[in-house]
C-alpha cells in the first residue's frame, strides 16, 4: 500500500514575501526657551551656531563636541566647539 499524501504536501509552496521593515514613527520634540518678550526654539539656535562655525571656514562634520550657553537677557548664544573654537550669535 502506498503512503497517503496530505493536502499540504501536494500544494506548491509559495515563496516567502519579503516586506520592507516598517519605519517607526518620528517623534517630534521641541525645546523652546521663553524669556520676557522673546521665544527661541533650541534646535534652531543649534543650527545657527553650526552655520556660523561653517561660515568661519570650518566643516560641520568636524564638530565632535558642542556646548551652547544661552543668555536671553543679552539676546545672545555663546558656543564652544571641540573645546577650543569659541564664538557667539545673536538670538533672532
The pLDDT value given to residue 5: 60
For residues 73-84, average pLDDT: 94
- Interatomic CA distance for residues 85 and 76, integer angstroms: 17
pTM of the model: 0.66
In tens, the pLDDT along 11-50 reads: 666 666 677 677 777 787 889 999 888 899 998 999 999 9
CA 86 to mean position of chain CA atoms: 23
pLDDT of residue 9 exceeding 60: no
- Interatomic CA distance for residues 85 and 63, integer angstroms: 10
Cell numbers representing residue 38 in the block = 522673546
In tens, the pLDDT along 43-61 reads: 899 999 999 999 999 999 9
Amino acid at each position: 500500500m502506498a503512503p497517503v499524501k496530505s493536502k499540504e504536501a501536494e500544494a506548491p509552496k509559495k515563496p516567502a514575501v519579503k516586506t520592507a521593515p516598517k519605519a517607526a514613527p518620528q517623534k517630534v520634540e521641541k525645546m523652546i526657551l521663553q524669556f520676557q518678550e522673546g521665544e527661541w526654539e533650541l534646535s534652531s539656535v543649534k543650527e545657527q551656531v553650526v552655520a556660523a562655525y561653517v561660515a568661519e571656514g570650518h566643516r560641520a562634520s568636524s564638530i565632535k563636541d558642542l556646548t551652547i550657553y544661552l543668555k536671553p537677557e543679552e539676546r545672545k548664544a555663546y558656543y564652544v566647539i571641540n573645546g577650543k573654537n569659541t564664538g557667539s550669535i545673536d538670538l533672532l
